[in-house]
Chains A and B, each alone.
Chain A
Amino acid sequence: MSSHAFDSTGAGPVLSPHTKRQDFTRKVIPASEIGPIEVPLSWTRRIWNSSLARRAVILVVLAVLWEGYGRWLDNPLSFPTLSETLVTLWVDLISGELLARLWVTLRILLMGYGLGIVLAALLTTLAVSTRFATDLLSTLTAMFNPMPAIALLPLALLWFGLGVPSLIFVIVHSVLWAVALNTHAGFTSVSNTLRMAGQTFGLRGLRLVTGILIPAAFPAILSGLKIGWAFAWRTLVAAELVFGVSAGQGGLGWYIFEKRNLLETSGVFAGLITVMIVGLFVEGVIFQTVERLTVRRWGMQGS
C-alpha cells in the first residue's frame, strides 16, 4: 500500500513518506545450542507456590506466637498456653465430653438448618410463580434479613420456653432469609434462552423449576446455603451461651460457658477451637467438595 494514499484527501491521517526497506532472511540458533529451555523449579519454590503450604506456615507462626506469649504472661487463668489448651482439648475429646456436646449442638443445628431450607424452598417456589408472592418475599427478606437472629431470642424464649424449640426458631430465622434471597436471585438470573429451551422440551410449572431453574441457579443457591450455614452456626453457639442447657444436655456453647464459670480457661479455648474446626470443616471440606462436583465441573463458576 502506498504511503501517499491519504496525502491529498485532507480527510484521513497524513502519513509521513518512508523509504522502502530491504527484505531479509536470517539463520536462527538451534534450540539445542541455546541451553535449557525448560527448567524444573526448585522444590522449595514449588512448595511455596501451594497455598496450603503458605497457610501452614502462617498457622505455625501463630502457634509459636501463642505459645510464647502464654509462657511469657504465665497466667493460665486469663491466657493459657497453646500446649495447655491442646492437652485439655485432647482429654475432653478422649473422655467423650466434647464430642457429646458437639453432637447436641449439631443435631439441633441440622434440624433448624433443614427446616429453614424447606421453608425457603416453599417461599421461593411461590415467589417464582406469582408476582404478588415475589413482592411478599422481597418485602419479608428486606425486613428480616438485617435482623440478628440472636435479637429474637428473648421473644423465642417467651413463646417456646427454655429448650430446643427456641433454638430451632432462631436458627430457622437466620437460615431462611439468606437462602430464600439467594435462591430467588438465582432464579431470576437464569437466562431467558435456557427457560425457553426448557419449555420447548415440554416442561412447565414444577417440572421446569426442578429440571431447569434449580440446576441453572445452583451457584446462587449454593452460596445461599453457605451463608445460611455460617449464620446458623454462629447463632446457635451464641444462643447456647445465653441459656444453653436444656434437659440436662448442653451444647458446645454451654460447654464454653461452663468452663468459664469453673475458671478452666484452657477449656474455654478448647471449646472455641472446636467451634473453629467444625466451621472450617464444613466450609473447607463439605461445601468445597459439593462445589468441585457441581458448579466448578459444569464451568458455572470461575476456577
Chain B
Amino acid sequence: MPQSAVENPAGTDVLLQVEGVTLQYRTPERQVTATYRVDFDIEPGERLILLGPSGCGKSTLLKAIAGFIRPVEGEIRLKGAPIAHPGPDRMMVFQEFDQLLPWKTVRHNVTYPMRCNGVPVEEADRRAVQVIESVNLSGFIDSYPHTLSGGMKQRVAIARAMAMRPQILLMDEPFAALDALTRRKMQEELVALWEAVGFTLIFVTHSIEEAVLVGSRVVVLSPHPGQVCAEINVDEFGGPNSSGADFQAVCGKIHDLLFPSAAGEA
C-alpha cells in the first residue's frame, strides 16, 4: 500500500504544513481577504476537517492546498516542498456532480487520471476495478455518469481520487448536494473506507455533525476572514458513538466556538 501512513509508520512526521497563510481573491469589484494567517499541520493518516461558516474561506484554503491559488503571505508545504500548481498527488473531490467526465464510463473516469500519469493500462484497470468495488459500484462499472444518481456520482469521484493513491485526498463539501439520508450513508461509508484502506484526508464542511462524524481532528475557522480559532480531536466520535451524550457535548462545544455571542446569551 502506498499510503503515507505506511510510508511513515511512526505517524509523527508532518505531511502537510500550512504556515501563516493569507489568501485573497478578486471579484470584478473588490479584492477579498478570504483567510488571514492560518496555520495547521496534517500528519499522515489523519482525517482533518476544515469547519467554518459560509464565507470563512475554507474552500479557498482547500483550493490553495490543491494548488489553484497562491497565498499572498505564508506558505503551504507538502513533505517540505512548497506547493506550486495542481497535481495528482493531491486529488480533489468537488461538491458538484459534474466533476465526472460525461464522455467516459465509470471505469474510464477512474482509469483516466492514472493513464494521464503514466500508469500502465492493465495496472490502471486492475486498480479501477478494485476501488470501484470498494465504493460498491461494481454493477455500474461500464455505465455513463448521466445514468447514475447524485450519490453514486460522488462515489465515483471518490473512487477516482483514491485510485490515484494521492498523498492527500482533498474533499470540498462532497456530500453537501445530497439528500439527508444519502449524505449520512456516505459519511459512514467514507469512514469505513478510511478504516479499510487508510488515507490522509482534508475535508471541508460547514456542518458540525458531519465534521465530528467524518473527522479525526477539526480545525475550526472564524468567519470572514477565516482564522483558526480552535483545533479539536474528535477521533472517538465516529461510527456507533455518533448519537451519545459525548457526541452532543462535543458538537455543542464546537457550536459555541463558531457562534460565541449565542453562547454568551444562553
Which residues in A have some Cβ–Cβ distance to B below 8 Å?
A: 191, 193-194, 196-197, 199-204, 207, 211-212, 215-216, 218, 294, 297-300
Contacts and interface: CB of A to CB of B under 8 A. Distances in A.
Interface in B55-110: 63, 66, 68, 85-88, 90-92, 94, 96, 98-99, 101-103
Contacts of B63: 196
Interface in B173-222: none
A193 B94 contact: yes
B247 interface: no
A200 B98 contact: no
A201 B103 contact: no
Contact of A202 (B102, B103, B117, B147): B117
Given A193-B94, A194-B101, A215-B103, A201 B144 contact: no
B142 to A, nearest CB: 12
Interface of B: 63, 66, 68, 85-88, 90-92, 94, 96, 98-99, 101-103, 112-113, 116-117, 144-147
Given A193-B98, A299-B145, A200 B91 contact: yes
Given A194-B98, A202-B86, A203-B116, A297 B144 contact: yes
Contacts of B66: 196, 200
Given A197-B99, A200-B92, A218-B103, 12 more contacts: A193-B99, A194-B99, A199-B85, A199-B86, A200-B91, A200-B113, A201-B117, A202-B86, A207-B116, A215-B103, A298-B103, A299-B102
A298 B102 contact: yes
B88 A201 contact: yes
16 contacts: A191-B96, A193-B99, A194-B98, A194-B99, A194-B101, A196-B66, A200-B87, A200-B90, A200-B113, A201-B117, A202-B87, A202-B117, A211-B116, A298-B144, A300-B102, A300-B146
Contacts of B113: 200-202
A296 to B, nearest CB: 10
Contacts of A200: 66, 86-88, 90-92, 113
Contacts of B99: 193-194, 197
B98 A298 contact: no
Contacts of A216: 101-103
B88 A202 contact: yes
Nearest to A190: B98
A211 B101 CA distance: 10
Given A200-B90, A201-B88, A201-B116, A294 B103 contact: yes
B94 A197 contact: yes
B264 to A, nearest CB: 29
